[in-house]
Chains A and B, each alone.
Chain A
Amino acid sequence: DIVLTQSPALAVSLEQRATISCKTSQNVDNYGISYMHWYQQKPGQQPKLLIYEGSNLASGIPARFSGSGSGTDFTLTIDPVEADDIATYYCQQSKDYPPTFGGGTKLELK
């Protein structure tokens, strides 16, 4: 299985930039597409898709969110951070079965 590694927590100030990383144990690119996706989950709610295929913004997601990276190193950037962005963020790969998720990064306020 492909293992995805995220830092457990990140402290950030409002209106600053948050950078959340995800490292994979194997390359998740194929034919020029990065099979890496990002989700936001708030307490008591279901996950919400933010970014798909590395850098594509999902429907209805504000442009403050962006995704980058390739191969085994990926980043979710939130700029600027708003109070509503306080949540846990998960990366997920879909290049190979089984689909796997990172352990999640909890975004906290400084």
Chain B
Amino acid sequence: EVQLVESGGGLVQPGRSMKLSCAASGFTFSSFAMAWVRQAPTKGLEWVASISYDGGNTYYRDSVKGRFTISRDNAKSSLYLQMDSLRSEDTSTYYCAKDTGYYGYTAFDYWGQGVMVTVSS
């Protein structure tokens, strides 16, 4: 059974940093691209970042470029999102999602339960 379990969320002040983690199991983690998708309270889904199966390619939405860093550790079957210079508009539930392909450009077939990040003073 595929499982994606996020951790690391909470309340953080504007301008500070936070790191999210996602522990994957039930599939060959090193064979698939992974992504972070977020959802602000009562809003729709918004893609944040993706990383290829081997970590060699990373992609970001414009609003987080230079502030967020996606990474992975295939030996630990784990995905990460380092978030720096956080803003109030980053407040969202962050989902870890498995891609169906190596490099992205496909659907997200499994999602974690999500972790809430609140940016507020």
Name A's B-contacting residues (CB within 8 A): 35, 37, 39, 41, 45-49, 52-53, 58-59, 90, 92, 94-95, 97-104
Give bound CA distance, A100 to B46, whole Å.
7
B111 at the A interface (CB under 8 A): yes
Q: Does B102 contact A (CB under 8 A)?
A: no
Q: Does A53 contact B44, Cβ atoms closer than 8 Å?
A: no
Contact status B109-A99, CB under 8 Å: no
- Distance in Å from the Cβ of A65 to the closest Cβ of chain B? 14
Point out the residues of chain B lying under 8 angstroms from A90, CB to CB.
44-45
Beyond A35-B105, A37-B107, is A104–B112 a contact (Cβ under 8 Å)?
Answer: no
Mark each residue of chain B from 56 to 91: 1 if its CB lies under 8 Å from any CB of chain A, else 0.
000101100000000000000000000000000000
- B44 and A98 contacting across the interface, CB-CB below 8 Å: no
A sample of 29 inter-chain contacts (CB < 8 A) reads A35-B105, A37-B107, A39-B45, A46-B113, A47-B37, A49-B107, A49-B109, A49-B110, A52-B100, A52-B106, A52-B107, A52-B109, A53-B107, A58-B109, A59-B109, A90-B44, A92-B45, A92-B107, A94-B104, A94-B106, A97-B50, A98-B61, A98-B62, A99-B104, A100-B47, A101-B46, A103-B44, A104-B44, A104-B45
Return chain A residues, CB-CB under 8 Å to B47: 98-101
Contact check, A94 vs B109: say whether CB atoms are below 8 A apart: no
Instruction: Let me know if B112 and A46 touch, CB within 8 A.
Output: yes
Give the residue among A41, A53, A94 with the most B Cβ atoms within 10 A: A94
